[in-house]
Structure 1
Amino acid sequence: MKLQQTATLFSCLFLIGSAEVIAGPMMGAMSADFGVRSSAIAYLPAAYGLSYGAVALVAGPLSDRWGRKRPLLAGLLGFALLSALIPSAPHLLAAIVLSALAGVCAAVVQPNALALVADESLPEQVGRRLGHVFIGLMLAFVLTPVLAGRLADTWGWRSAYYALAVMAVLAALAVSRAFTGGAPAAASHTDFMTTHRHALATPGVRLRLSASYLWLGWVAGFGAVVAEVASRKLLLSPTDTGLLAGFYGLAVIAGNLASGKLQQVVGAAALPGAALVAAVGLLGFMLPIASMTQLALLGLPWAVGYGCAGPLHHARLSALSARYRGTINSYHASLLNLGIFSVSFALGSVVPRFSVAVFCGLVGAVALVGACLLVPWRREGRTAASQTT
């Protein structure tokens, strides 16, 4: 895969991740304009994740039949239009609907982008290339909260969504130049339902997809609302919460960069070990905190464990079947974003009635259950594990 192609798909994942976390540090400013409590703004990423999860089930199989480029372009342009419309929404419900439609577009973008990584790479390079592209998703957790928080304090929260729309247009232009139309994938002669059946019949796929929701979805979902959690624990400004979320994003990237080395040292145990660290790290947010520094240190196990285990989990899923890679990716993306929706919905539902510590305990408990599903994989041979590096 060429550098231009890697950078293009990197930017696509950056956009998808940015849409998940952009509202986090701006919830206070957005709530004032919409006339609602700040926790209600969490329904924006919740709607995004829910529609994403539903539509991804269709987008992946279609990419296995008809190719990747044209759906990817359509998804990026639709994402740009909807992001530009959110700032002009007359009320919160309209913004939620627009966010949900943006999730539909994102559901078309991500499976096609990730399938292109495998399509354009040598088999032994797929895991490493996926890691490079996934840094784009994780970088969104660093830059987007910081920039969004700063924009909310200076030019207003609407400017952040306009910037997201411009970046989506630029990404679409990059896709049009970096990739050819390509031939339909290997599953082009398989009907739609058969594609689903064969993908789900792939050995090991159902257990790992369960972890995509229960572990990765809830761990990633917490990243979408961590700025609001931090502001409720310490009463921080949008700029400070954005900086804190950006710090966690750096820790996620550090975990991603360390994942290959960790797997070389401990083999197949790297994935379940890092997943357990991330889940237990979420439970740490239940502890009382007196300063921003303490909170930053407390969140490191969650962020580093998430960053390390996330790409390993996806790479193993992607390696299960070349023929139905797009469909398996679509299930993974769907369940991942269903987890993000679940966390955002829980924030909007639980926090007004209970303390933020109860919310953190709930998210940590679900993620711990999901991480336990990964523990038996530590007995897999190093041959299977080597496919992800």
Structure 2
Amino acid sequence: MPSPFLLPVLALAVCMVGAAEFMLAPMLAPLASAFNTSAAHASGLVSAYALSYAAAAPLMGWLSDRAGRRKVLLAAMLLFAADSTALTLVPTLQAAMALRILGGLAAAATIPTVFALIADRIEPAKQAGAMGGVMLGMTAGIAAGPAVAGLLTEAWGWRAPFLVISVSCLAAFAAGRRVIPRDLPRACATEDLTSNKKAGAGIFRLLLAKGAWNGSAVAGYVFAGEVLRMRYGLELGAVGIAVSVFGLGLGIGNMLAGHASRRYWREENTLVMATIVVAASMTLFLTAAMGLPAALGCLLTWGAALGIAAPASTAILAQRAGAHKGKVLAVSESVNNVAVLMLLPVAASASATYGVTPAAALLGGICLTGAIVSATVRHRQF
């Protein structure tokens, strides 16, 4: 039996990843001033982290399958702490960007390893719930990271948020040494995923499907604030509060993931239903003329359905990947990031040329296509 503190420690680890990725939003001006550059150039710190994360994830997932989850995760926490501390000491933007690349490597090692570890140690019937609980930590980091970073920067300067990340990662490392179990024997680690053509093809389709529904949902969310501002005449502060309803829904969905899987018997059923709801609520929010309360209800539903779909999908991929779950989950992270990077400019161009409604219809159609593809990959194929 794993320690009862295992999941909270893993949630803290992924919370730091989520916070580190999004906390720079309110800090670009102070960072630009510190490095004698413009805010546009300072935003390269975000790109360096994200691109490093996406590119390195498959390698890090493979490493966790080979070297062991415990070693990789503890090393990632130490690297994250060292990187965050060092970033407060460097004199130039170029050096800071190089360190953010190392931070991206640590993040790429953390996320797939955490969920592969859960799949290794938690019985299948409880995996979606466990993954949803840990994803709640990431959701909290993404939602609260910018606000906390802004307050810390205002009070103590731009270095303070990075130092908080460093201390938190050291705490996760210290706790992880005590509660993360030793790695299981790699009895089936030499199994070749490609030797089972049906398994490999099914996983490939699930990865593409997840890229479609997750990428379109995140890309659509980027337009949510502008839709609220233009449709209801909200000020920037009110838009920020309204958009946070999505994050609230995401957290609710994470907490309900386990219950949804038990109610609908299998993660596959939960995934299909949740992605259909994502497509419907997103398209309705972006296209339909409705009152503000109804729009916020759609935004909440959109977030909650996505919060249920993500852990269900992760549990399915982990169960079907066998000994290669670290690699498969890492590839899933890369596919998600690439999908968002591809869909954002396409949707933005469609919105600028044809309006929000056609762009929303495009994203909704891609999301629904992902749901349909997920539904066609049946468990009996494996």
TM-score if structure 1 supplies the norm length?
0.77
* Distance in 2, Cα, partners of 1:147 & 1:121: 32
Give, in angstroms, the shift of residue 8 of structure 1.
1.2
Structure 1 residues 88 and 199: alpha-carbon distance in aligned structure 2, compared to 1, 3 A threshold:
farther
Given residue 258 of structure 1, which amino acid in structure 2 is its aligned partner? Answer: L
Residues 102-121 of structure 1: per-residue CA shift (max 9 Å, x gap)? 11111111222111112222
| Greater Cα offset, 22-31 or 54-63 | 22-31
Secondary structure of 1:57's match?
Answer: helix
Residues 301-351 of structure 1: per-residue CA shift (max 9 Å, x gap)? 4322221211111111112132222221121122223345557x859x969
Aligned: 1:204 with 2:202: yes
Q: Aligned ranges for residues 117-266 of structure 1 at < 5 Å?
A: 117-189=118-190, 194=192, 201-220=199-218, 236=236, 246-263=244-261
- Residue in structure 2 matched with residue 369 of structure 1 by the alignment: 366
Larger Rg: 2
Q: Aligned ranges for residues 298-313 of structure 1 at < 5 Å?
A: 299-313=299-313
Residues 50-75 of structure 1: per-residue CA shift (max 9 Å, x gap)? 22122121122222222111111111
Give, in angstroms, the shift of residue 167 of structure 1.
0.9
| 1:202–1:320 Cα contact (<8 Å) kept | no
* Distance in 2, Cα, partners of 1:2 & 1:357: 54
Give, in angstroms, the shift of residue 368 of structure 1.
4.1
- Residue in structure 2 matched with residue 387 of structure 1 by the alignment: none
* Distance in 2, Cα, partners of 1:244 & 1:22: 19
Structure 1 residues 170 and 217: alpha-carbon distance in aligned structure 2, compared to 1, 3 A threshold:
farther
Give, in angstroms, the shift of residue 25 of structure 1.
3.9
| Greater Cα offset, 48-57 or 23-32 | 23-32
* Distance in 1, Cα, partners of 2:137 & 2:215: 18
Residues 200-219 of structure 1: per-residue CA shift (max 9 Å, x gap)? 94352111101232322453
* Distance in 1, Cα, partners of 2:360 & 2:78: 34
| 1:146–1:246 Cα contact (<8 Å) kept | no
TM-score if structure 2 supplies the norm length?
0.78
Secondary structure of 1:299's match?
Answer: helix
* Distance in 2, Cα, partners of 1:227 & 1:209: 26
Secondary structure of 1:140's match?
Answer: helix
| 2:213–2:371 Cα contact (<8 Å) kept | no
Structure 1 residues 160 and 12: alpha-carbon distance in aligned structure 2, compared to 1, 3 A threshold:
same
Identity of aligned residues (%): 25
* Distance in 2, Cα, partners of 1:85 & 1:279: 42
* Distance in 1, Cα, partners of 2:312 & 2:78: 30
> What residue ranges of structure 2 are gaps of 5+ in the alignment?
none
Aligned: 1:325 with 2:325: yes
| 2:275–2:368 Cα contact (<8 Å) kept | yes
Residues 359-378 of structure 1: per-residue CA shift (max 9 Å, x gap)? 99768845641441222544
